[in-house]
Copies of this chain bind each other. A is one copy, B any other.
Amino acid sequence: MALENASSPSLSPPTLFAHLITIASPSTIKHAISNTAIKIKNIALDDPRRVTHSLKVALAITLVSMVYYLQPIYNGIGDAGMWAILTVVVVFEYTVGATLSKGMNRGFATLLAGALGVGAEAFGSLFGPTIKPIVLGFLVFFLVGAGTFSRFIPSIKKKYDYGVLIFILTFSLVAVSGYRVDKIIQLAHERLSTIIVGGLTCIIISICVFPVWAGEDLHKNMVKNLEKLASFLEGFGNEYYRVSDGDKSFLTAYRSVLDSKATEESLANFAWWEIGHGKFRFRHPWKQYLKIGVYTRQCAYHIEALSGYLHAKDEIPSEFQKIIQEPCIKMSSETGKALKELANSMNLMVHPLSSSIHIENCKKAVDDLNTTYKVSMVEDQWDILENISVIAATSILVDIIKCVEQISEAIEELSKQAHFKKPKDKTSNEAGKPHILHRGAVKPVGVENEQELVTVTVSSGDEVLHEART
């Protein structure tokens, strides 16, 4: 912050001087320190796993360095210990998947590049000491160039970017090391073993001590994103008709979904490396999450367009708007409920069932809306001009219903691929296409953070079809 201020070109020297005096006054310093402390505290409280992660990394490095420091074989820390510390520092990432990805990339790339490097050394030696540097120079130039270019290939960039980097590094080091082959092999053995020690330390601590799984994070992220959209849509109707008060944070929460692509893709990439954990098997269909993500964002874009009609109007609803109030509120709240249901079933990893009821209800509300439009148009002569924004808002709501149907299909597909628990449905014949039941009553009880107690009760006639507790 201070750095940015100081480098601002608009401060003339006297202003800058006054500025520095202001900065240096004791009260300003005190203020700045307490501000920073509050910021740091918030970052820690925002996600306490950040503190745990910091302690884990500190533990891993202290462990590795102490082992090498105390080992009586080395007089002080040797080359080998250095490589172990270096490995821990660069390999230990926030999530298990990222750590595994980096560790395995590093290990295999070192092995491959080491072998190729020894080969290059031996090949170069065939030409005698004068030409050898030239031959090696060409080999290094060619392989480094090819390696660097390969990092632009999307499939390599996605999963093996770090491996290629380490390959380039190790090959260059080994090829021009100037050692005889037997000495290289001894060195390589030593270095590889320390890399393995460092890498394994990271991986073990990362998995065993409060693990942060990229897959679990991705899963929770998707659920949260769906819930954010659901909250907006559930609240939109009341907000549009000014019949609600209180906390309005749900009106802006959806915005983070708009930019969720990068996070989702990197989490899905890391999740690919992870072993089975918790509810997730090894090779959980993480790719399908990306598809759900695409449709979720699609929905968010429409919500963004819809939200414009909310802020545009501070006045009381028009007569025309009031006439379509019931189907309008119904459409938005039922879409919200459908999304909340989908989020819930994804969270509990059960087959989405009752969401289809809400989608059907949405469609009924659309029919109602159309009927209302038809009737009111014949009875009263409404001025289109005054009601363009109302008509547009309802039209976007209809588009949102289509988006929610797409999300629903994608989650349905996920539930097949990931073998979600099927509800013990006694009446419906096809699990994939549930009957439209009389009514679906969903009571989420205290949906907060990890520990959820959700009772999903879908009653067909008098029969309770499904009850899930986690």
Contact = CB atoms under 8 A, between A and B. Distances in A.
Contacts of A9: 283
Contact of A168 (B61, B149, B175, B383): B61
A176 B9 CA distance: 42
Interface stretch (A95-103, A137-145, A331-339, A434-442): A137-145
Q: Interface residues of A: mostly helix, strand, loop or mixed? A: helix
Copies assembled: 2
Interface string A388-423: 110110111001000000000000000000000000
Given A258-B301, A385-B373, A168 B396 contact: no
A385 B377 contact: yes
Interface string A311-339: 00000000000000000000000000000
A453 interface: no
A61 B140 contact: yes
A50 interface: yes
Contacts of A308: 302, 399
Given A62-B137, A140-B61, A373-B385, A54 B176 contact: no
Contact of A133 (B70, B75, B142, B396): B70
Contacts of A391: 384, 388, 391-392, 395
Given A68-B176, A90-B165, A392-B396, A62 B140 contact: yes
Interface of A: 1, 7, 9, 39-40, 43-44, 50-51, 53-55, 57-59, 61-62, 65-66, 68-70, 75-77, 79, 81-82, 85-86, 89-90, 133, 136-137, 140-142, 144-146, 148-149, 152-153, 155, 165, 168-169, 172-173, 175-179, 258-259, 261-262, 283, 297-298, 301-302, 304-305, 308, 370, 373-374, 377, 382-385, 388-389, 391-392, 394-396, 399
Given A62-B137, A259-B259, A301-B304, 5 more contacts: A1-B155, A58-B142, A77-B178, A373-B385, A382-B384
